[in-house]
Structure 1
């Protein structure tokens, strides 16, 4: 079937269709589940293990489980993925992760959450997302690229086994899949204890499933094509920059998985918001100062390019294939977010006392 589709639409067209399918699934389930790393980090900082953490934990565990089961069954091979085969940056993962975590607290959402919120009518998210995308583009190929390259070059990790966490731990995919299954069960238990709606918990698992589906579809297309195709999965900063630059800087939008993913997420989230009557316009206000959002967007734009991906691209997609830089990046995203939330809380309390 894939060969027929490739013959008809070409490699790029089929990749775009695959991205759109994964995007719709991810967008709808992320909107319904309230999937958000920022919300989970805030909850943990305030001393709770409640609904937000359970949602993120279910999504992450489900993604790892599907990917590692697929590898164990021999229907997926991620060894040639960029996150494992190419040289990685540990310094980029640490510094970029901290910057991204700080930024998502200031902007009240990571790259994926901003895209989902944009589809529900949140004008703050649209403006913040555009700034994030522009800074990411400047960090990738523009004026900020030399700074990013200098920071990334401080501590490099060669591709191959040195970048695989499973290889470093001498752990097989079946063992990793078993651990993920136990973690997923724990996540559902925590969700039940936290009185999370069943539909939200299931939607969170589908978020992780979309990440796994992305790896499976791009791998299947790569295996069916005569061209060399890089396998990938859900990530937002890079595809958002490619989509935006293609729209404003070219008469023809270059097709690919990411170009289908971004509008797919938007359509999926918007459809779910309309279906559940949660779509409404939100603007900047006295309690949501624009300057804080813009600073957060800039930090996330640069941080994501330095870290090798956003909270989903590095944290979920890279984490599911056990790229060591991805696990380090998402860990420091948590650290940066929690530290920033603590600082913001102290500033708020100080200002309240001063008044």
Structure 2
């Protein structure tokens, strides 16, 4: 059955949700098996280590760039019309929100995407933190915190009513993004070799990047045949977490890519953890850890919505299409995370950060 026949049979919104489910399942399995986590990579780098966590993050990021830019050159992704690229970007939101998100992911011991994956493996700390994250994100998107977000985001915006295309701004050729991705992948593989990372983990790490490209390709294909305008998007967890929460609370909510994505990640990570016999229940270890995690989750909910995406949405998905504010947010994630690790966990004498 071709895509037109499928949309005629099911409708465009259910097909978008199915595409989100497929993207999420791929992401969930790959992220669980590779232990991909920006927060873990940030902490390692802050402590002067180029270890397996840094290698896996670099491999995921670089393979996302390679897959996405390769698909763009083949005409499979309409990057200029991607949702993140086609709207005005906020530099102030990316920087301030990115710093807040970076602080939050270290306090919560995992970025929003990692919390979702861990929740699927029985980590009850991540379940609670994820719910706080989703509620605060919803409040920031359309609730009491929206005026604060709008005011900060409006301080410094991109020109021309669109986000900045970094490749175009730097006058690089169309294949410049692909070349950058390949070079970064080679660096990731060299760090992986030095840390003797197994082939299985490398394949799954690259699979996270592939999931990002899969989302872009599927939504681009749907947008091309859709009667109504359909957003071209891929994996991100700030807005989708809030939308998924409201979908189960509002009887009038409609299906969309986001509604398939979040459950897809959860199901994929759950099945992967069962297959590897890694599913086990875990809870908070004391009131101080709970307070720290919930504070971090709240900071990520507001910061991620302000920044225009989370560690995945801006850091990998937006970075793979070279959206200017996404790269600004990614830089702020790293800076905020490293500073927080140094002040709270190293210099501050807090409990040593556990692996994500």
Q: Structure 1-normalised TM-score?
A: 0.96
> Which residue number in structure 2 is paired with residue 134 of structure 1?
135
**Shift of the alpha carbon at 1:48?**
0.7
Q: Which moved more, 1:155-164 or 1:292-301?
A: 155-164
- Secondary structure at 1:290 match in 2: helix
- 1:161/1:283 Cα in 2 relative to 1: closer, same or farther (>3 Å)? closer
**Shift of the alpha carbon at 1:82?**
2.3
Q: Verify the 8 A CA contact 1:37 1:56 in the aligned structure 2.
A: yes
Structure 1 unaligned blocks of 5 or more: none
**Shift of the alpha carbon at 1:189?**
2.0
- 1:160/1:212 Cα in 2 relative to 1: closer, same or farther (>3 Å)? farther
> Which residue number in structure 2 is paired with residue 195 of structure 1?
196
> Which residue number in structure 2 is paired with residue 91 of structure 1?
92
Counterparts of 2:104 and 2:160, CA distance in 1? 29
**Shift of the alpha carbon at 1:173?**
2.8
**Shift of the alpha carbon at 1:136?**
0.6
**Shift of the alpha carbon at 1:227?**
1.5
- 1:196/1:287 Cα in 2 relative to 1: closer, same or farther (>3 Å)? farther
**Shift of the alpha carbon at 1:277?**
0.6
> Which residue number in structure 1 is paired with residue 37 of structure 2?
36
Structure 2 unaligned blocks of 5 or more: none
- Secondary structure at 2:122 match in 1: coil
Counterparts of 2:7 and 2:273, CA distance in 1? 33
- 1:129/1:6 Cα in 2 relative to 1: closer, same or farther (>3 Å)? same
Q: Deviations over 1:51-80 (max 9, x none)?
A: 000000000000011111111122221111
| Aligned-residue RMSD, C-alpha | 1.5
> Which residue number in structure 1 is paired with residue 305 of structure 2?
305
Counterparts of 2:351 and 2:216, CA distance in 1? 47
Report how many aligned residue pairs link the two structures. Answer: 350
Counterparts of 2:173 and 2:282, CA distance in 1? 47
1:111 corresponds to 2:108: no
**Shift of the alpha carbon at 1:222?**
0.7
- 1:142/1:280 Cα in 2 relative to 1: closer, same or farther (>3 Å)? same
1:277 corresponds to 2:284: no
- 1:162/1:259 Cα in 2 relative to 1: closer, same or farther (>3 Å)? closer
Q: Deviations over 1:219-268 (max 9, x none)?
A: 001112221101000001111111111111x2254111110000000000
Q: Verify the 8 A CA contact 1:69 1:173 in the aligned structure 2.
A: no
> Which residue number in structure 2 is paired with residue 221 of structure 1?
222
> Which residue number in structure 1 is paired with residue 328 of structure 2?
328
Q: How does 1:176-325 map onto structure 2 within 5 Å? A: 176-248=177-249, 250-286=250-286, 289-325=289-325
Q: Verify the 8 A CA contact 1:67 1:212 in the aligned structure 2.
A: yes
- 1:161/1:240 Cα in 2 relative to 1: closer, same or farther (>3 Å)? closer
- 1:239/1:133 Cα in 2 relative to 1: closer, same or farther (>3 Å)? same
Q: Structure 2-normalised TM-score?
A: 0.96
Counterparts of 1:114 and 1:255, CA distance in 2? 23
Q: Verify the 8 A CA contact 2:238 2:309 in the aligned structure 1.
A: yes
**Shift of the alpha carbon at 1:287?**
8.5
- Secondary structure at 1:173 match in 2: coil
Q: Verify the 8 A CA contact 2:87 2:162 in the aligned structure 1.
A: no
Counterparts of 1:79 and 1:130, CA distance in 2? 33
**Shift of the alpha carbon at 1:288?**
6.3
1:2 corresponds to 2:6: no
